[in-house]
């Protein structure tokens, strides 16, 4: 029997205040996938991510996460789904008044009844996973941008989520830090089997980590290509995808 996809999106329209940015979005994300949402600047990638994570309402259409109707379900069940999801925001979104350890501990204190000792152990382990051992007592303002993102990832992984969303993980990082973060994403996917959804327009990340992808096309305001990014580069279905994946090279049919 074929397994249900982790996330199923059908005829989704996204936007703000009744204004539709993208429409007719339909795609499946299977368990353990590294799924890339790509597209040019301002095409609605982050809006799609915000809709998938329930930060803004969908204009129309349906989203199922782990078989549950995410749009129409009650807030309790929505919360339950979000408990199994982690999000790494573009800026890391660490709470500036808390140390890294306190940041990572927050979801654990909120949703588990672990003792303080156990929480400290989990925090130290998660920070070690992202290469930040020994930085427990640092404040976000005292570390670099790349470290902030890794600490944000440690917080996203705190509750051992089944899905982790990444909003432009490479934004503002130097090439080496960006590659290290990509390697970390691959490692997490391999070792923990976590389903990973990445919103990005960074080509090196797309080709090195992406197993599946969708291309949001601003000109037609919907998905104009789906599939493995490397395959899409070999057989580009249209000019926009080709230009995007080749940094604007001339398209010849």
Partner 1 sequence: MIEIKTKGDCVICILEGVLNGTEHIDVSASQVSNKKIQLVGQNIDSWNTDFVITLFNAFKQVSKENITYSNLPKGMEQLLRLAFQTPYKEEENPPQKLPFLEFIGEYGLRFCRSVKKGTMFIRECLSSWGRQLIGKAVYRSKDFWMILADCGPKSILIVSLISFMVGLILAFVGAIQLKTFGAQIYVASLVTIGMTRIMGAIMTGVIMAGRTGASYAATIGTMQVNEELDALQTMGISRTDFLVLPRMNALLLSMPILILLSDIMGIVGGCFVCVLFWDIPLAEYIKYAVNSFYLTNFLVGVFHGIVFGLIIALCGCYFGVNCGRNADSVGTATTQAVVYAIVWMIVMTGILTAICEGLGV
Binding positions for partner 1, rule: CB under 8 A:
50, 53-55, 79, 82-83, 85, 87, 89-91, 93-98, 102, 106-107, 110-111, 155
Cβ–Cβ under 8 Å, residues 193 and 216: no
Whole-angstrom Cα distance, residue 217 to residue 201? 12
Which residues are 217's β-sheet partners?
A: 222
For the CB of residue 198, give the shortest distance to partner 1 in the complex, in Å: 16
For the CB of residue 234, give the shortest distance to partner 1 in the complex, in Å: 29
Q: Between residues 99 and 212, which has the closer beta carbon with respect to partner 1?
A: 99
Q: Between residues 49 and 225, which has the closer beta carbon with respect to partner 1?
A: 49
Mode of pairing for the β-strands spanning 222-227 and 212-217: antiparallel
For the CB of residue 95, give the shortest distance to partner 1 in the complex, in Å: 6
For the CB of residue 235, give the shortest distance to partner 1 in the complex, in Å: 29
Whole-angstrom Cα distance, residue 28 to residue 6? 8
Q: Between residues 81 and 203, which has the closer beta carbon with respect to partner 1?
A: 81
For the CB of residue 47, give the shortest distance to partner 1 in the complex, in Å: 13
User: Given 3-state DSSP classes, what are the helix, strand and coil percentages for the chain, each rounded to the nearest 5?
Assistant: 40, 25, 40
Task: Residue 98: count other Cβ atoms within 10 Å of its Cβ.
Answer: 14
Strands (DSSP E) contained in 40-104 are 60-65, 68-69, 85-88
Classify 116 as helix, strand or coil: helix
Q: Between residues 78 and 226, which has the closer beta carbon with respect to partner 1?
A: 78
Q: Between residues 102 and 208, which has the closer beta carbon with respect to partner 1?
A: 102
Q: What is the DSSP string of 203-231?
A: HHHHHHH-SEEEEEETTTTEEEEEE-HHH
For the CB of residue 129, give the shortest distance to partner 1 in the complex, in Å: 19
Q: Between residues 62 and 90, which has the closer beta carbon with respect to partner 1?
A: 90
């Amino acid at each position: 029997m074929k397994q249900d996809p982790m996330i199923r999106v059908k005829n989704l329209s996204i936007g703000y205040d009744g204004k539709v940015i993208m429409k007719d979005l339909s795609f499946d994300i299977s368990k353990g996938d590294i799924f890339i949402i790509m597209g040019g600047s301002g095409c609605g990638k982050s809006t799609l991510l915000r809709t998938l994570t329930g930060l803004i309402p969908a204009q129309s259409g349906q989203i199922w996460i782990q078989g549950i109707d995410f749009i129409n379900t009650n807030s309790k069940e929505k919360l339950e789904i979000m408990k199994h999801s982690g999000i790494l925001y573009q800026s890391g979104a660490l709470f500036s008044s808390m140390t890294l350890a306190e940041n990572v501990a927050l979801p654990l204190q909120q949703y588990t009844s672990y003792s303080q000792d156990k929480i400290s152990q989990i925090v130290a382990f998660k920070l070690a996973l992202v290469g930040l051992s020994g930085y427990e007592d640092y404040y976000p303002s005292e570390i670099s941008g790349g470290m902030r993102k890794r600490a944000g990832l440690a917080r996203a992984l705190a509750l051992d989520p089944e899905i982790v969303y990444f909003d432009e993980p490479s934004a503002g990082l130097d090439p080496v830090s960006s590659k290290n973060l990509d390697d970390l994403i691959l490692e997490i996917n391999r070792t923990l089997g976590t389903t990973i959804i990445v919103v990005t327009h960074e080509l090196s990340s797309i080709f090195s980590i992406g197993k599946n992808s969708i291309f949001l096309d601003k000109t037609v305001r919907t998905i104009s290509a789906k599939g493995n990014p490397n395959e899409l580069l070999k057989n580009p279905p249209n000019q926009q995808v080709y230009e995007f994946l080749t940094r604007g090279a001339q398209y010849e049919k």
